[in-house]
Amino acid sequence: MSRKNEKDKTLSVRIGILSFAHMHAASYAGSLPHIPGATLVGIADEDRDRATRMATQFGTTAYPSYEALLADVDAVVICSENVHHRRLTELAAKAQKHVLCEKPLATTLEDADAMIAICAENGVKLFTAFPCRFHPAYKRLKAATQEGAIGQIIGANTTNQGQCPGGWFIDKKMSGGGAAIDHTVHVTDLLRDMMGAEPVEVYAELTNGMAHSDYDDCALITITFDNGVFATLDASWSRPKSFWTWGNVKIALTGTEGVASMDMFAQNHVVFSDVAERPSLHNWGDNMDLEMIQAFVDAVAGTQDLNAPVSLATGEDGRAAARVALAAYRAAETGQPVTL
């Protein structure tokens, strides 16, 4: 990273994207041009054709290897298949580049621990991509609960439902699971961040009731926290292809003095398309991905607002959320709650 003289606070942060396997990579790449001082230096991907297409789309360079890109940047965003997160994080850390890694942080706790350790050993920052923290609806809900608007929280009813993404997401060797590992981590992270509490027990029932295949696409999970709060979570790929939106993130809280709820993606236009031959919802709300990438750039530059209502999820936060998802699979296998 280069910094101009202290009188001129303009910063230049050079970012690279390692892999475009995850669909969120496009949103992250599209956010960077809107951030003063941030530059998308290039894209590296084992799928060279995909790297070339994405580089053309976002007006940047397709690098021939991850190592070549790492030589030219200050930090990277990792958007590979889940199973490759550890390998790419290790490459970046050894090159002393800061890392924002797509969720789930890892498919095993061993991998998560290794990622956290190698970043610490090399003096680089490791963050987990949980953009939902930055959505205004969540920030308002967090502020209200911390101000005591509903008293002490007793329970939470939550959802993160969506459409099955297909591809490598349903290849358990690449993804680490199905809907549970994909969708449990977001809401778990929000609940941990909002309450400052840790999960202590997980129970889950998982099925493949939609696609009838060998991966889970329906997940009903109960999480108990160390402050006594219990949360239920529908973390499913239960939306059919013809549904008018991809999914949702909702939290409904019950407290000793009242209730509060959040529908994160409620700001929508209804679009009737003769091409698609169905109505669809197009979100017009705030861009939480942009807010998260801005926070990452600020963290790399050392200019982050330490008093901000929300902060980037750390590697440890990513591990904690992944731990709940992995426990859900163990609970579903045994039919018994898993103590964390």
The predicted-structure confidence for 175-218, as pLDDT tens digits, reads as follows 999 999 999 999 999 999 999 999 999 999 999 999 999 999 99
Angstrom distance (rounded) from CA 335 to CA 327:
12
In this structure, what token pair is assigned to residue 309? 């209502």
Strands 153-159, 38-44: parallel, antiparallel or unpaired by DSSP?
unpaired
Three-class secondary structure of residue 287 per DSSP: coil
Q: Are residues 88 and 163 in the same domain?
A: no
In this structure, what token pair is assigned to residue 258? 């009242």
Number of domains in the chain: 2
Specify the pLDDT at position 2. Answer: 37
- Residue 147 burial by CB count (10 A; 0-12/13-18/19+): exposed, middle or buried? exposed
Residues 250-256 have a mean pLDDT of 98
Q: Check residue 86 and give left, alpha or beta (phi > 0: left; psi -120 to 50: alpha).
A: alpha
Residue 254 half-sphere exposure, CB side, CA atoms within 13 Å? 10
- Asked if residue 247 is part of any domain, the answer here is yes
Q: Are residues 106 and 184 in the same domain?
A: no
- Asked if residue 298 is part of any domain, the answer here is no
- Asked if residue 221 is part of any domain, the answer here is yes
On whether the CB atoms of residues 15 and 44 are closer than 8 A, the answer is: no
pLDDT category at 10 given cuts 50, 70, 90 is: low
Q: Are residues 121 and 143 in the same domain?
A: no
Specify the pLDDT at position 1. Answer: 40
The continuous run of DSSP H or E covering 225 comes out as strand 218-225
Specify the pLDDT at position 8. Answer: 40
Q: Looking at the predicted structure, is the pLDDT value of residue 3 above 80? A: no
- Residue 284 burial by CB count (10 A; 0-12/13-18/19+): exposed, middle or buried? exposed
Q: Are residues 124 and 171 in the same domain?
A: no
Q: Are residues 137 and 122 in the same domain?
A: no
Q: Are residues 43 and 92 in the same domain?
A: yes
Domain-ending residue, one of 68, 95, 129: 129
Instruction: Evaluate the omega torsion of the peptide bond into residue 104 and state whether it is cis, within 30 degrees of 0.
Output: yes
129-166 residue pLDDT tens: 999 999 999 999 999 999 999 999 999 999 999 999 99
Domain-ending residue, one of 105, 129, 153: 129
Question: Which is higher by pLDDT, 282 or 58?
Answer: 58
Angstrom distance (rounded) from CA 111 to CA 201:
22
pLDDT category at 6 given cuts 50, 70, 90 is: very low
Q: Which of 289, 221, 263, 216 is nearest to 33 (CA)?
A: 289
Q: Are residues 173 and 251 in the same domain?
A: yes
Residue listed under structure tokens 């680490």: 176
Q: Are residues 148 and 263 in the same domain?
A: yes
Specify the pLDDT at position 277. Answer: 85
- CATH code, 109: 3.40.50.720
β-strand partners of 129: 102
Specify the pLDDT at position 68. Answer: 98
- CATH code, 279: 3.30.360.10
Give CA torsion, residues 211, 216, 219, 225, to 10 deg: -170
59-112 residue pLDDT tens: 999 999 999 999 999 999 999 999 999 999 999 999 999 999 999 999 999 999
Q: Are residues 281 and 177 in the same domain?
A: yes
The chain-wide mean pLDDT, for the chain, equals: 95
Q: Are residues 147 and 269 in the same domain?
A: yes
Specify the pLDDT at position 84. Answer: 98
Angstrom distance (rounded) from CA 229 to CA 224:
6
Q: Are residues 48 and 95 in the same domain?
A: yes
Question: Which is higher by pLDDT, 1 or 311?
Answer: 311
pTM to 2 decimals? 0.95
